Amino acid sequence: MVRTPPPDGRDLTATRDDRLDVPELPTLDPGITLLDTEKRATGPLQALVLDHLLLAGGDALWVDSHGHAQSGLLARLAPCRRVLDRVHVARGFTPTQHATLVERLPDRVAPETSLVVLPAMDGQYRGDELPTEDARELFLRSLATVARVARERDLPVLVTRHRDDGFAAPLSSAADATLACERTEFGPRFRSDEFETLVYPGGPDGTAQTTLAYWTRILRARNPLHGATAETDAKRRGPTASAADAGGR
Amino acid sequence: MFALDFRDGGVDVWSRTADGVEVARDEEYAPALYLAADDWASIAANRAHVEGHPGVVSTAREEWRPGFREEPTDVLRIDASDVDAVRPLARELRGWERTGTYRLFDVDLSPGFRYCLETGTDPAPESPLRTLSVEVPPAELAGDEPRITECTVGPGDADGASAAATDAVAEAETVTGDPATVAAAVGERVAAADPDVLVLDTARIVPALFEAAREAGVDFRLGRRPGYRKRAGASTYESYGQVGHSPARYGVPGRAVIDRENTFFYRETNLAGCLDLVGRSGKPLQELAWASIGNVLTAIQVREAKARGVLVPWRSWRAEFFKSMRQLSAADRGGYTLSPRVGLHEDVHELDFSSLYPNVIVTRNVSPETVRCDCHADRADVPGLGYAVCDDRGYLPDVLGELVAARDGIKRALRETDDPERRATLSGRSSALKWILVACFGYQGFSNAKFGRIECHEAINAFAREVLLDAKETLEDGGWEVVHGIVDSVWVTPRAGAERRPLDDLARAITEDAGVRLECEAAYDWVAFVPQRESNAGALTKYFGKRANGDGTEAAGDAEGGAKAGDGAGGGGNAFKYRGIECRQRSTPEWVAGVQRDLIAALDEYREPEPVCGVLAQFLQRLDAGRVDPAALAVTNRVSKEPGEYARYTRSTAALDRADDAGIDVEPGQSVDYVVVDDEKDTRERVALAAEDPESYDAGYYRERTLRAAESVLSPVEWDRERIAAYLADREDAAVTAYG
């Protein structure tokens, strides 16, 4: 399900020793991908979204929760400002608001939509605003809607969990793929069932990997891959543009 | 009308007339909630089911708008058997409430407000109310089953005497004895005074008195009829920011109860302020006194909504629209702030926009249904955000416009009268409106606000920013330098060598431009902006200064601010203004605050750090010599947790332990005053309660606090802690040499 853009990036050691200039990031395929991180996933999440938009073109619909859509961070991460116009965000601050936004998704998805993002998708339904059973049911309805959008529109949907527990279990069951992002001494590593990649050597200090500067650097370094779409940014890709089309250029 | 009792499925409506008190019984009243769906057919299919519910009296098909942005549609009006049936009924119907299908409306309205709203009853009393207060010393109410042995019954509106009320008794009277005797005596006095409003220190008095009387088998009343009513707070009360777990509320028949422990508006304003809002919000006095700002603002909006044929949503299903990250980025910038330029500036003028946010809402037509309207989708009216704002007049500007105008009128009247009673009335009303206006902006961004909308919040912010930035530009072009700007005020000083237009001229021009009045708020001989600790950047709200000659009383702030701890209180009269520094902080010991004010006076006199440090040294000498009265060193600490919940053994914990030893019950939210006697200890010997009259203190601890206060004064003139310490050390050396 996940491919790495540079074909020779399989051997991690080789990647570092050969000083490969273009760092790897996993590609998002149609279906629900659960991004699983040790902590709050703002850095890798935003990097994956931007990378996808720059590679695949199109727009992202982002239903936010718990302040993941930090526009300031995203603006600093983005290699070009224009890509910010292609991320459309609406925030749910209550379970009912979140459910309303998800309910609207099928109507909001347009031909140019190439990605749907729902950080902490379970988060709003955990509060005490609604009785637990009502909240759980609302969460499941939302999840079903999201799965339907992914399936019927053949769209990549990127989600994260607010917490990894029983309440969020339906989320991992519904996910077509789980992408773990963990910190290693060599840099963040993305791992799924059939794939593993080290993004980029994080330098001697492992802590740097989670910083904004790190992800900014990664995205800059991937610029050669983005070049094609970055240039056509202004023209806005046509409705028929597909991920494969843009990525292969 | 001034009070309502809901009992036996009907409502007793109490009114005061010139001749006395009247009560009318309303047996017919049936509170209404509403059910809406995408189409009438799905409601019709379930109508019989709803009608079969035991809590339902009848149903009707009516036309209402489910939201400000929606067209009128057929909905089901459901009349419940009584106010207490509304919630259980709603909870049962909630099973149906799903996004896009069934929605419930008019569910969570407080009973009195609902009654007035639905029956068109004006909750404002027709004649002045008789008020009475009942006070009990806090110690009497300790524990779960308090036994009251002392109680004072007195005039009810001592702090806000006004035409709206008369005291039911002339003088306070204290009764003591065993709980049954006290209850009987209180009952007699209340009956004799026969007040309409009972002002209680805490409503916990009510069950305690009734219980004492019951145990003794004494007939006892606080109301105009037997008994009392307890209403669990959390089920009926929604506060601003949070649907809260508020304490239980107690009511007695035929009187409005004001619980001093649970009232915002009675505490921050007075009875006249409360009654003003009773009229505007449609909430009866007892509910109004209980209500939070957001709750009152919501009530005002609910009345407007219903008047416009709009129902009140139960849950906030309404979510924001999608916007681009770039728009979100612009929206996230928040209010305008220009970091103050650290340092001491001569000849500073402060200019404030009058009620900036409400006025932006009114003049820019910002309202939940106007921002990002469908009809002008292609227009970019909001600066930086590109949102459209509809040309059709919004409801929020109408609501707030009325409040702004009313407050302006009250302030005008206030300027024209010297009569203390009238002033108290007007001040209370002005202050009550001020709180509503202050909160209206934040409330728009609050996710659970009934009619709030985050896009409104963003638009208001964006317009306000623009107003401030434009003003800054005009002032700079006019030859002034802006040294500080925050949200709605700018601080300027003459730009050296520039040709200047008078500030009044510029303010007039800016006012005309912005559509919001810019007023010259105050003039200062000098103002010092204090840097943040550990940084050179200016702290936004830490400054002090000296008012310019003849600019003392007038600039003392809002007319209604008089009752609050004012600017410069206690140090050089009104000449100095202090903000955010130690002497304004509640936790600062009185003596340290006094030293800080004296240092500021010294800075004013010498404008040099050295002599100020000299003054400081003298104070420290007195402190070290143990010559400061320990009573003046008491630290006031508000308790935030139960004693066992503190992670470390702090001074507060020590103080709480001592209080406990002394049998004083300190609840979270209350304060405890203590003097630090030995800061090295980690036992309860570390402090002494102020009440224990300690004879000594830990000079080292207070020296540290005094140095901190001194640093705030001297850091604007670039003397930091080290510099001060070095100066003091030199001086002490010199002293040793001199005496040696």
The predicted-structure confidence for A49-78, as pLDDT tens digits, reads as follows: 999 999 889 999 999 999 898 888 888 888
* pLDDT > 70 fraction of chain B, expressed in percent and rounded: 89
Please give the pLDDT value at position B503.
95
Q: What's the gap in Å between the CA of A82 and the closest CA on chain B?
A: 9
The CATH number that applies at residue B415 is 3.90.1600.10
Given a contact cutoff of 8 angstroms between Cβ atoms, the answer to whether B160 and B270 are in contact is yes
**Neighboring chain A residues of B243 at a CB cutoff of 8 Å:** 129
**Residue B285 included in any domain:** no
Which range has the worst mean pLDDT, A95-99, B150-154, B246-250?
B246-250
Residues B474 and B345 in one domain: yes
CATH number at residue B647: 3.40.1820.20
pLDDT, residue B644, reads 61
∠ Cα B133 B136 B139 (to 5°): 160
- pLDDT score recorded for residue B155: 85
Same domain, B665 and B558: no
Q: Decide if B319 touches A, using CB distance below 8 A.
A: yes
pTM as predicted: 0.79
Asked if residue B511 and residue B410 are part of one domain, the reply reads yes
**Chain B residues inside the 8 Å CB shell of A72:** 329, 332
Residues B360 and B406 in one domain: yes
The answer to the question of residue B84 being in a domain is no
Mean per-residue pLDDT for B358-371?
94
List chain B residues with CB under 8 Å of A86: 324
Q: Report the pLDDT value the prediction gives residue B194, as an integer from 0 to 100.
A: 93
Task: Mention every residue, 6+ apart, whose C-beta is less than 8 A from residue B328.
Answer: A69, A71, A89
Q: Give yes or no: residues B463 and B492 share one domain.
A: yes
**Within an 8 Å CB–CB cutoff, is residue A132 touching chain B?**
no
Closest CA to B154 of B196, B200, B203: B200
| Distance from the B331 Cα atom to the nearest Cα atom in chain A, whole angstroms | 9
Per the CB < 8 A criterion, the answer to whether B560 and B431 are in contact is yes
Task: Specify the pLDDT at position B97.
Answer: 59
Q: Bigger pLDDT: A119 or A233?
A: A119
Q: Are strands A87-91 and A177-184 parallel, antiparallel or unpaired?
A: unpaired
Full set of structural domains in chain A with CATH: 31-68+99-180 (3.40.50.300)
Look at B326 and A74 and tell me if their CB atoms are within 8 Å.
no
CB contact under 8 A, B318 and A97: yes
Residues 219-258 on B with a CB inside 8 Å of A are 243
Q: Are residues B514 and B643 in the same domain?
A: no
> Given this model, what pLDDT does residue B158 score?
54
pLDDT at B620 over 90: yes
Confidence of residue B647 (pLDDT cuts 50, 70, 90): low
Q: How close is the nearest chain A Cα to the Cα of B319, in Å?
A: 5
Its ipTM equals 0.79
Which pLDDT value is given to residue A43? 82
- Write down the pLDDT at residue B464: 93
Q: Looking at the structure, tell me whether residues B363 and B479 fall in a common domain.
A: yes
Single-letter amino acid code for the residue at B339: S
pLDDT tens track for A112-170: 999 999 999 999 999 877 878 888 989 999 999 999 999 999 999 999 999 999 999 99
CB contact under 8 A, B324 and A87: yes
Q: Is the pLDDT of residue B276 over 70?
A: yes
Residue A23 pLDDT > 80, yes or no?
no
Torsion on CA atoms B214, B217, B220, B226, rounded to nearest 10: 70
Q: Does A81 touch chain B (CB under 8 A)?
A: yes
Q: Which of B210, B245, B262 is the endpoint of a domain?
A: B262
Domain boundary among B262, B285, B315: B262
> Does B686 fall in a domain?
yes
Beta bridge partners of B77: B34, B60
> What is the pLDDT averaged over residues B243-259?
78
d(CA B657, CA B587): 19
In a domain, B646, yes or no: yes
Q: Could you give the number of structural domains in chain B?
A: 4
Residue type, B446: F
For residue A11, pLDDT beyond 50? no
pLDDT higher for A92 or A13? A92
Q: Is B633 helix (H, G, I), strand (E, B) or coil?
A: helix
The verdict on B643 and B577 lying in the same domain is no
Neighbours of B233 (CB within 10 A): 16
In a domain, B157, yes or no: yes
Residue A156's DSSP bridge partners are: A31
Average pLDDT over residues A36-52: 85
> Within this chain, do residues B677 and B733 fall inside the same structural domain, yes or no?
no
How many whole angstroms separate alpha carbon B124 and alpha carbon B126?
Answer: 6
pLDDT at B22 over 90: yes
CA atoms within 13 A on the CB side of B214: 10
Summarize pLDDT for B395-433 with one digit per residue, the tens: 999 999 999 999 999 999 999 999 988 898 999 999 999
Share of chain B above pLDDT 90, in %: 60
pLDDT of B655 reads 87
Q: Is A96 within 8 Å of chain B by CB?
A: yes
CB contact under 8 A, B447 and A71: no
pLDDT tens per residue, range A184-222: 766 677 888 777 776 665 554 544 455 677 788 788 878
**Are B329 and A108 inside 8 Å of each other by CB?**
no
Q: How high is the pLDDT of residue B668?
A: 64
Half-sphere exposure of B82 (CA within 13 A, CB side): 11
Domain ends where: B224, B244, B262? B262
Confidence of residue B562 (pLDDT cuts 50, 70, 90): very low
B258 and B189 share one domain: yes
Contacts 24+ apart (CB under 8 A), B370-376: B370/B394, B371/B453, B371/B455, B371/B456, B371/B459, B372/B321, B372/B455, B373/B69
Cα of A18 to nearest chain B Cα, Å = 37
Q: Does B110 map to a domain?
A: no
Asked whether residue B150 is assigned to any structural domain, the reply reads yes
What pLDDT score does B139 carry?
79
Q: Which residues are bridge partners to A184 per DSSP?
A: A187
Among B131, B128, B150, residue whose Cα is nearest residue B139: B150
In 3D space, the residue among B161, B414, B165, B397 whose CA is nearest the CA of residue B301 turns out to be B397
In angstroms, the CA B409 to CA B426 distance is 10
State residue B412 phi and psi, 5-degree precision.
-60, -50
Q: How many beta-carbon contacts under 8 Å exist across A and B?
A: 84
Residue to test with chain A: of B87, B91, B99, most A Cβ within 10 A: B99
Beta strands across the sheet bearing B103-105 = B56-64, B73-80, B32-36, B103-105
Ramachandran category for residue A89: left, alpha or beta (phi over 0 → left; psi -120 to 50 → alpha): beta
Give residue B604's domain range. Answer: 549-628+701-739
Cβ neighbours of A94 in B, within 8 Å = 315-316, 447-448
User: If DSSP states are collapsed to H, E and C, what string results for B699-719?
Assistant: HHHHHHHHHHHHHHHHHHHCC
Within chain A, what is the greatest distance between any pair of CA atoms? 56
Report yes or no on B514 lying in a domain. Answer: yes
Q: Provide the pLDDT for residue B96.
A: 63
Nearest-by-CA chain A residue for B447: A93
One domain, residues B622 and B645: no
Q: Place B650 in a pLDDT band, splitting at 50, 70 and 90.
A: confident
CB-facing half-sphere around the CA of B505: CA atoms within 13 A? 9
**Nearest residue, CB atoms, A97 vs list B243, B319, B324:** B319
Instruction: Let me know whether B362 and B458 are in one domain.
Output: yes
